[in-house]
C-alpha cells in the first residue's frame, strides 16, 4: 500500500492488483470493445482496489488526456522495412501496434525526417513530431543531442533500448544484456572453458557496450580469460592464436561467418570451437547451425514502450526506465572443450 501522505496513482493500483498500468487506465476509462479484452475478474479486481484505496484521477492529467489526439508517433533512426533489417525490427513494431490498439490509440510513422551525415534527424524545419501526443524512438543508435532537446522541450517520448547519454533521465524499455551475457559466460565456464573470445565492437551503442560489460565482469568473476577481438581484424586467426575454445559474438551474422570459416579449416563446431550468439540477427545471416545464446524480448519491449509512454502522458508516475530479461537459447554450438 502507498504511504498515507501521498496521492494514490494508477501505478500503485497496477502493483496492488498485479496488472499493467495500461490495464488500469482501460478499466478507469470504461473501454470495452473487441480491441480491448479485459477479463471480468481482472476488471473487478482493479475496481475493488480503486474503491479500497479511494483512488481519484488527477484532474490535471484528466484534462490533458481529454486534449490528446490519441496519436502515438514512431520515429526510427534507421529504415525498418528493407529486407535486411525488416525481420529484426518487425517484432518491436508488432508489440507497439498491439499495445496502441489495446488503449485505443493510432500510430503515426514519421518517415520524412531528413538524413544528415547518413542518419535521420528528428528536428528539422518541417518537424511534425507534435502531431502526436508522444513518440516511441526506435533504432540501434539515437542522437544524444536530440534526446537532450526532447527532454529540455518537454516532449513526451520513450526509447526502445537503454539510453544514458542525453544529459538527463531518458525514459526507456531495454533488454538486460549484461545479465543475459553474464549467464552465458558462467555456463561456458562451468563446461570447462578457460579462455573465451568476444568478437565485436564492445562499445558505441549502449546495446553493444552492455553486452561487453556483462562479458568482462562475468569472465573476471569466473576467474577465466576474456579476449576482445574486433570483427574486422581477421578474428579467427587471433582467436586460434590466443588459444580460445569459445567465441561470443556481438552480431549473430559475424558468428555465422566465423563458424563457416572454422569448418572450412577442418574445425568441428562445437567440439573444437564453441560459439555463443548474443542476440538475434540484425542483418542477413545464412547458417544451418542452431546457435546457443539468447533472444531479445523485442515484441515485449515494443509493448511496454507504449505502456510507459501512456503512463507519462496520463501523469500516472511509476517506473519509466525498464530492463527486460532475455530468453536463453540452449542451441547446439556450446559444449565442453576437448582436453
**Which stretches of the chain score pLDDT less than 70?**
1-7, 30-36, 56-67, 79-86, 112-119, 124-127, 167, 339
C-alpha distances in Å from residue 94, one per residue of 88, 246, 301, 302 = 11, 35, 10, 7
Give the class (CATH, top level) of 68-174+297-325: alpha beta
In this structure, what is the dihedral angle of CA atoms 277, 283, 289, 295, given to the nearest 10 degrees? Answer: 40
Could you tell me if 88 and 282 are in contact, meaning their C-beta atoms sit under 8 angstroms apart? yes
* CATH architecture for segment(s) 177-296: 3-Layer(aba) Sandwich (3.40)
Going from N- to C-terminal start, the domains of the chain cover 10-57, 68-174+297-325, 177-296
Can you say whether residue 181 is alpha, beta or left, with left for phi > 0 and alpha for psi between -120 and 50 degrees?
A: alpha
In this structure, what is the dihedral angle of CA atoms 4, 9, 14, 16, given to the nearest 10 degrees? Answer: 10
Q: Do domains 10-57 and 177-296 have the same CATH topology?
A: no
- The whole model's pTM is what? 0.77
Query: Which pLDDT belongs to residue 60?
Result: 44
Could you tell me if 172 and 206 are in contact, meaning their C-beta atoms sit under 8 angstroms apart? no
Find residue 278's DSSP bridge partners. 294
Cα 95 to Cα 91: distance, rounded to the nearest angstrom = 6
Percentage of the chain modeled with pLDDT above 70:
85
Give the class (CATH, top level) of 10-57: mainly alpha
Cα 75 to Cα 108: distance, rounded to the nearest angstrom = 9
Which residue is listed with cell 568478437? 199
Cα 248 to Cα 242: distance, rounded to the nearest angstrom = 14
Could you tell me if 322 and 174 are in contact, meaning their C-beta atoms sit under 8 angstroms apart? yes
Beta strands in 117-204 (DSSP E): 119-120, 134-138, 157-160, 172-175, 195-199
Query: Which pLDDT belongs to residue 64?
Result: 47
Query: Which pLDDT belongs to residue 240?
Result: 94
Q: Helix (H, G, I), strand (E, B), or coil: what is residue 180?
A: helix
Amino acid at each position: 500500500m502507498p504511504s498515507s501522505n501521498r496521492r494514490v496513482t494508477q501505478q500503485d493500483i497496477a502493483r496492488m492488483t498485479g496488472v499493467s498500468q495500461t490495464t488500469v487506465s482501460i478499466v478507469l476509462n470504461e473501454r470495452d470493445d473487441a480491441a480491448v479484452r479485459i477479463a471480468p475478474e481482472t476488471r473487478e479486481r482493479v475496481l475493488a482496489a480503486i474503491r479500497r484505496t479511494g483512488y481519484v484521477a488527477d484532474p490535471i492529467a484528466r484534462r490533458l488526456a481529454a486534449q490528446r489526439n490519441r496519436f502515438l508517433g514512431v520515429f526510427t533512426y534507421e529504415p525498418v522495412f528493407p529486407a535486411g533489417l525488416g525481420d529484426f525490427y518487425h517484432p518491436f513494431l508488432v508489440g507497439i501496434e498491439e499495445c496502441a490498439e489495446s488503449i485505443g490509440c493510432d500510430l503515426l510513422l514519421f518517415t520524412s525526417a531528413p538524413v544528415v551525415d547518413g542518419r535521420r534527424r528528428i528536428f528539422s524545419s518541417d518537424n511534425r513530431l507534435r502531431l502526436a501526443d508522444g513518440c516511441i524512438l526506435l533504432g540501434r543508435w539515437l542522437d544524444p543531442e536530440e534526446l537532450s532537446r526532447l527532454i529540455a522541450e518537454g516532449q513526451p517520448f520513450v526509447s526502445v533500448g537503454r539510453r544514458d547519454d542525453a544529459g538527463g533521465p531518458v525514459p526507456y524499455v531495454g533488454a538486460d544484456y549484461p545479465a543475459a551475457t553474464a549467464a552465458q559466460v558462467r555456463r561456458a565456464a562451468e563446461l570447462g572453458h578457460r579462455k573465451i573470445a568476444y568478437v565485436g565492437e564492445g562499445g558505441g551503442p549502449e546495446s553493444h557496450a552492455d553486452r561487453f560489460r556483462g562479458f568482462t565482469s562475468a569472465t573476471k568473476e569466473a576467474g577465466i580469460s576474456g579476449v576482445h577481438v574486433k570483427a574486422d581484424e581477421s578474428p579467427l586467426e587471433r582467436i586460434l592464436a590466443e588459444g580460445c575454445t569459445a567465441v561470443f559474438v556481438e552480431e549473430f551474422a559475424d558468428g555465422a561467418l566465423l563458424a563457416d570459416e572454422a569448418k572450412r579449416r577442418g574445425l568441428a563446431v562445437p567440439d573444437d570451437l564453441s560459439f555463443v550468439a548474443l542476440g538475434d540477427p540484425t542483418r542477413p545471416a545464412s547458417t544451418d547451425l542452431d546457435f546457443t545464446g539468447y533472444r531479445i524480448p523485442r515484441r515485449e519491449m515494443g509493448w511496454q514502450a507504449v505502456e510507459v509512454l501512456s503512463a507519462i502522458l496520463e501523469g500516472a508516475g511509476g517506473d519509466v526506465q525498464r530492463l527486460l530479461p532475455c530468453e536463453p537459447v540452449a542451441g547446439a554450438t556450446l559444449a565442453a572443450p576437448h582436453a
